[in-house]
Structure 1
């Protein structure tokens, strides 16, 4: 089993997570058999560590972490590698792959440009 973990910062306001839930739902609509989960750095749960523990417990052999950030900032460069290293030590049979921040994808940049230029 492969898992996709959409990883975001998190916020104290639960409403903040709605676009992420819609993103997860959109991924699932395109790949209904996929295991797609949300995880957060802080303020919300599950944390990335908790999500990785859960997929490992459920038998995943690969987990792709997709940072839902606009760029590879400090959290993605400093915090996430530490979290992933600890998870790799806890679950040596789980292949953990960290993808680039979603906002760095050219397709995402182009989609944002379309939204910027859209007229209501």
Structure 2
């Protein structure tokens, strides 16, 4: 079984997590048979170790780890690979695949450009 681990930074303000929770909810609705966990680097729960354990305990043998970051800064380039290696060490029965930051993917860049453009006045 394949699972999805969405990974976001985290913040002290609980409202900050709403868009990320919406992403998780939409994936769950679109793919009801796929276990989906949302994890945070700091300030919020669950952390990646807890979310990863939940997916492994659910019987996932393959997990896609998707960073919900706009770019690959230090957390995505340095911290996250270490955390994924820890998941691999603690749950060797599963394959943990780290994807690029979603903000670097063309469909996301296109969506952000369209959203920004929508704020411009319409011209004839």
RMSD value, Cα: 1.3
CA distance in 2, matches of 1:23, 1:35: 13
After TM superposition, the score normalised by the length of structure 1 is 0.94
CA distance in 1, matches of 2:86, 2:19: 29
Larger deviation: 25-34 or 90-99? 25-34
Runs of 4+ in structure 1 off by over 6 angstroms are none
CA distance in 2, matches of 1:106, 1:68: 14
Give the match for residue 115 of structure 2.
115
- Structure with higher Rg: it is 2
**Residues 6-85 of structure 1 mapped to structure 2, 5 A cutoff:** 6-85=6-85
After TM superposition, the score normalised by the length of structure 2 is 0.91
Task: Write out per-residue CA displacement over residues 4-55 of structure 1, whole angstroms, 9 at most, x where no aligned residue.
Answer: 0110000011111000111112222222222111000010011011111111
Give the match for residue 86 of structure 1.
86
CA distance in 2, matches of 1:49, 1:95: 15
Larger deviation: 99-108 or 19-28? 19-28
Number of positions where the alignment pairs a residue of Structure 1 with one of Structure 2: 120
- SS at 1:45 equivalent: coil
Deviation at 1:83, TM superposition (A): 1.0
- SS at 1:46 equivalent: coil
Q: Which runs of 5+ in 1 are unaligned?
A: none
CA distance in 1, matches of 2:31, 2:54: 21
Task: Write out per-residue CA displacement over residues 70-109 of structure 1, whole angstroms, 9 at most, x where no aligned residue.
Answer: 1111001111111111111111111000000000010000
